[in-house]
Structure 1
Amino acid sequence: MKKTRSKVMSTVAGAAILGMTIAIPNYGAVGNVAKAEEPVQQELTDEEKGQALEQHVEAQAQPPNVNIDIDPVAIFDSISETIKTADNRGGFVKAARETVSFHTDYSLNVMVLNLSNDYDESSYSGVHYFDTFTYDGAIYGVWAFEEGTFVNNGDGGYDNWAFYGWFDRDGGTVEFRLP
């Protein structure tokens, strides 16, 4: 609901900035009315345009608000079960990525990384979840976070890492951002 509301406000604000007239159809029917009403044309005053522009600018200036409810015990239990059932390391790494993505409603960036690789994860923020898991002697870090950069200087491939989210990748460097 919030996403729809913000898209409507952005559309109204954008139209107001451009001095456009907005047609807002009224499809609400009363009783057994069979015909929808015609769209109502509404011209915004200069004051309303200014208010819409002000709201649009304020909305753009606000930092993103990421409020995700995570059950770390459920994530841990799910990944631990994956360790027992995965037939290979690559399968475990992909399953761990999908497990964390699912438990965060696919709204956070996720990294699963073999910690024996030479890596740098020093520039990330907004961590909502972190834990380590051992699969067949290899220790993996599992993160769910908002943004940051991970650099894998070691071997790539699903045996060593997998990630999900909104990112730009250049070889072993992955720069994550908020959606």
Structure 2
Amino acid sequence: MKIARTVVGSCLALSLTIPFTASASAASQSEQANAPHVSPVANPLESKLSQTADQNVKAAGVDAGLNVNVDVLGISDRIAEAVKSDQNRTGWVKNVMETTFYASGQKYNVMVFNLNQEYEDRFNGVQFYGSAVYDGITYGIWVFEDGSFDNKGDGGWINWAFRGWFDRDNQHIEFHRP
């Protein structure tokens, strides 16, 4: 059964899986071993964007369910470079936040958060979501227009960083549009 595919929205996501080792001995190993790696994840809001993508689906023997991942802001390479360049966790979290903020044109809010911690997010107008791994710890990276975020875990720089337009009440952040 062939299913017609249409564009269902402009909200596309990209997930980054970026291996990083903080030890000095690992840092001296080949750059190739610690090079960032980008791995796309399926998103149900994605659609057919090109003839090539359709051909890839047919080559894989799949009739329906095409998933296309697009980095709408073009920031995944910059985040990958930020991951590769930092040797301490606090600096790494801050650097990913700053890199993401400037790579998104300084016109969106940014949240970087340790996904091992409890949290609740209510973001609107999400432009990008990705994840990056530092020494086995996965961080979520959001670029969005407005919303709120509740950190229900530790609030230190090693666990979260955010930038944009916001009001903060301890672990609760209300983000606004610029």
Band of TM-score, shorter chain: 0.5 to 0.7
Q: CA deviation at 1:113?
A: 0.4
Structure 2 spans left out of the alignment, 5+ residues:
1-69
**Which runs of structure 1 show a deviation greater than 4 angstroms over 4 or more consecutive aligned residues?**
70-74
Structure with the bigger RCO (C-alpha within 8 Å, sep 6+) is 2
Provide the C-alpha distance between the structure 2 equivalents of 1:131 and 1:141, rounded to a whole number of angstroms.
6
Query: 1:101 is paired with a residue of what secondary structure?
Result: helix
Using the aligned pairs only, state the percent identity: 46
Q: CA deviation at 1:72?
A: 5.0
Q: Which residue of 1 aligns with 2:40?
A: none
Provide the C-alpha distance between the structure 2 equivalents of 1:125 and 1:108, rounded to a whole number of angstroms.
11
Provide the C-alpha distance between the structure 2 equivalents of 1:82 and 1:157, rounded to a whole number of angstroms.
20
**Judging changes above 3 Å, is the alpha-carbon distance between structure 1 residues 71 and 102 closer, same or farther for their aligned structure 2 residues?**
farther
Q: Which residue of 1 aligns with 2:147?
A: 148
Q: CA RMSD in A?
A: 1.7
Provide the C-alpha distance between the structure 2 equivalents of 1:100 and 1:86, rounded to a whole number of angstroms.
15
Q: Whose Rg is larger? A: 1
Structure 2-normalised TM-score?
0.58
* Count, aligned residues: 109
Q: CA deviation at 1:158?
A: 1.1
Higher helix share: 1
Q: Is the 8 A contact 2:93 2:159 kept in 1?
A: yes
Structure 1 spans left out of the alignment, 5+ residues:
1-69
Q: Which residue of 1 aligns with 2:129?
A: 130
Q: Which residue of 1 aligns with 2:160?
A: 161
Residues 38-117 of structure 1 aligned to structure 2 (within 5 Å):
72=72, 74-117=74-117
Q: CA deviation at 1:141?
A: 0.5
Q: CA deviation at 1:147?
A: 0.5
Provide the C-alpha distance between the structure 2 equivalents of 1:173 and 1:126, rounded to a whole number of angstroms.
19
Provide the C-alpha distance between the structure 2 equivalents of 1:173 and 1:141, rounded to a whole number of angstroms.
17
Provide the C-alpha distance between the structure 2 equivalents of 1:137 and 1:92, rounded to a whole number of angstroms.
13
Query: 1:134 is paired with a residue of what secondary structure?
Result: strand
Q: Is the 8 A contact 2:72 2:127 kept in 1?
A: no
Provide the C-alpha distance between the structure 2 equivalents of 1:174 and 1:109, rounded to a whole number of angstroms.
11
Deviations 1:30-57 (A, max 9, x none): xxxxxxxxxxxxxxxxxxxxxxxxxxxx
Provide the C-alpha distance between the structure 1 equivalents of 2:109 and 2:82, rounded to a whole number of angstroms.
20
**Judging changes above 3 Å, is the alpha-carbon distance between structure 1 residues 97 and 147 closer, same or farther for their aligned structure 2 residues?**
same
